Amino acid sequence: MSDKIKHFPGEQLKGSDIREGRIPVVKHRPNVKYLWSAGVAMSRFLEGLKECKIVGSTCKKCSRTMVPPRAFCEQCFKPVDGYTYVKDTGTINTFSVSYVAGDASRIKEPILVAVIDLDGASKGMGILHLLGEIDDWKQIKFGMKVKAVWKHPEERTGTITDIKYFRPLKEV
Amino acid sequence: MKMFGKKRVAVIGAGMTKFRRHLKETGKELAWEASKMALDQAGLELKDMQSVVMGTAPDAFDGVHMKGEYLADGAGAWHKPYSRVFVGGGTGVFVTDAGWWHVASGQFDTCLVVGEEKMSSCYPHPAYAFTTIFDPIFSRPLGVTLIWIFALEMHRYMHVHGIKKEEIALVSVKNKRNALDHPCAQLGANITVEDVLNSEVMCWPVQRLDISPTSDGAAALVLASEDVAKKLTDNPVWIDGVGWCIDSTFWTNRDLYYPKYVQCAAQMAYKMAGIKNPPKEIDVAEVYDPFDYKELHHMEGLMLARKGQAPKLTAEGITQRDGDLPINPSGGLLGVGNPIAAAGTMKCCEIFWQLRGEAGKRQVKGDPRTGLAQAWGDLMQYGSVVVMRS
């Protein structure tokens, strides 16, 4: 803001002015739903999850084994050379402990979140997932080895949540 | 200097509204207020504007999925070449980059650049709109939220360099204090490191006072070609460098400790501006700070500090308003507020006012000649940079 300007536009309201209708408001909730095709590469990934397998794709040009799999290498800009399985074990690259839900409301039991670099994929190829079987989040360490805990076969539907969470490989 | 377009481009006016959690005005009315102020400052009228660029972030905040068109009248676009640009949180600075090429190309002599955001329409909290930015197949079923991914990045940055929370909290303390001198600021305050460390844990290591607020607001700039600018003002501020870059959307496949894409955007802008030694040659910077760690992370990406060294510069007071390299003298997003696209444009406005010596109580010491504004966005993958000189 310039010291040449003396008038600052904008009329402040309280949240309650809007919520309780003390000023004129219009309310609307769109009713829109989506059905996404999982696509060429991710369809293979989701099919693999039903069988407790994690699918990656490989590019010979840049020598990467990539998770999640893609149909094309975004760096070499060519089709991938094939699909492969990586392991369901890995290493914690980074983690966080969430006390907030998606709508910013607060939750008592924190959600443990991590980026896990999977064994068998190229270095630094992580996926986002949850951590479990940990009593106190202070036990979580960078570089800790973890393993996927899968849902029972009849519960698996071919979604990323077919993996319930990753648990420490050693007891904590 | 070497020319990077057909014409050299100047900023000749800037304006902004108050930033607040809830404002009565619609987004269109806010855009109009900021645009009118910028035009008044430039001594011009809408008829003098040959082109308009609008920056505004996700449509989901407003629930109007044609937001560029929805806001057009407020941005002064009537019967003009007009476009909306959108690169997530990077939009507010990128809209200035886009305005630059409108004029530098020689196509237009003038361009009105507008950044707007009204987040409060989305309730109970605009954070919920952010849950729809993620990949629907791979990420959303996990319940991923924006704060998770920033907490993951912050933690990785802290881990790789051994940085402590108290070192990062100094940024929040500094920026909220700076904002006390900004008449449009939402959250200016005198707080302590202890206040930050004792604030509610949202998503460890992110605590409440590590985060900027959600806001409504707008900001605008008037750009003109050199020949037009010199007729209108004795002290134009030149846009001497622009840069922008994106990284892969597979954000879990890259090391989050360092924003390589910000470095690429900065290198592009520095090359244009002929800057060889950024910390020596840049006098004042508005660095994107939606979270306190982001100021440090971005100072490193912008090569204003070496990797892992930004906390040290902060602790030494170098980034204070009276330090050798003032960072976010406005108060930044942490203090002035964070209406996404408007916040980045506010940073461009602040550099303009600083380089004109008009920043009043916020004016940095000495006679700043070179300033930088930067924003960041999308899935932790986008950098936009502008370098200005008086």
Question: What sign does the dihedral B375-B152-B326-B215 (CA atoms) show?
Answer: positive
Give A160's contacts in chain B (Cβ within 8 Å): 137-139, 141-142
- The yes/no answer to whether this complex scores an ipTM above 0.90 is yes
Mean pLDDT throughout A45-71?
Answer: 98
Nearest CA in chain B to A111: B203
pLDDT at B127: 83
Q: Which residue, among A88, A80, A64, A83, has the nearest Cα to A160 in the 3D structure?
A: A88
User: Which secondary structure element, helix H or strand E, spans residue A167, and what is its range?
Assistant: strand A163-168
How is chain A split into domains, by residue range? 39-168
The average pLDDT across B137-153 equals: 94
Question: Which tens digit of pLDDT belongs to each residue from B6-34?
Answer: 999 999 999 999 999 999 999 999 999 99
Residue B1: pLDDT over 70: no
**Quick check: B30 and A10 CB within 8 A?**
yes
What Å distances lie between residue B381 and B72, B249, B338, CA to CA?
A: 28, 7, 19
Give dist(CA B323, CA B74) in Å, integer.
39
> Can you read off the two tokens belonging to residue B119?
């987040």
Q: Chain B residue with minimal CA distance to A10? A: B18
Short-list B108, B44, B63, CA closest to B82: B108
- CB within 8 Å: A96 and B182: no
Question: Which structure tokens are listed for B324?
Answer: 């050798």
The architecture in CATH of the region B9-124+212-389 reads 3-Layer(aba) Sandwich (3.40)
For residues B253 and B18, what is the distance between their CA atoms, to the nearest angstrom? 39
Question: Which of B246, B148, B261 has its CA nearest to residue B205?
Answer: B148
Q: Which pLDDT value is given to residue B225?
A: 98
Interval A74-102: pLDDT, tens: 999 999 999 999 999 999 999 999 999 87
Contacts of A128 in chain B (CB under 8 A): 138-139, 142, 144, 148-149, 152, 252
A84 and A58 in contact (C-beta within 8 Å)? yes
Tell me the pairing of strands B216-225 and B9-16: antiparallel
Residue-range domain boundaries for chain B: 9-124+212-389
What confidence tens digit (pLDDT) does each residue in B39-83 have?
A: 999 999 999 999 999 999 888 888 888 999 999 999 999 999 999
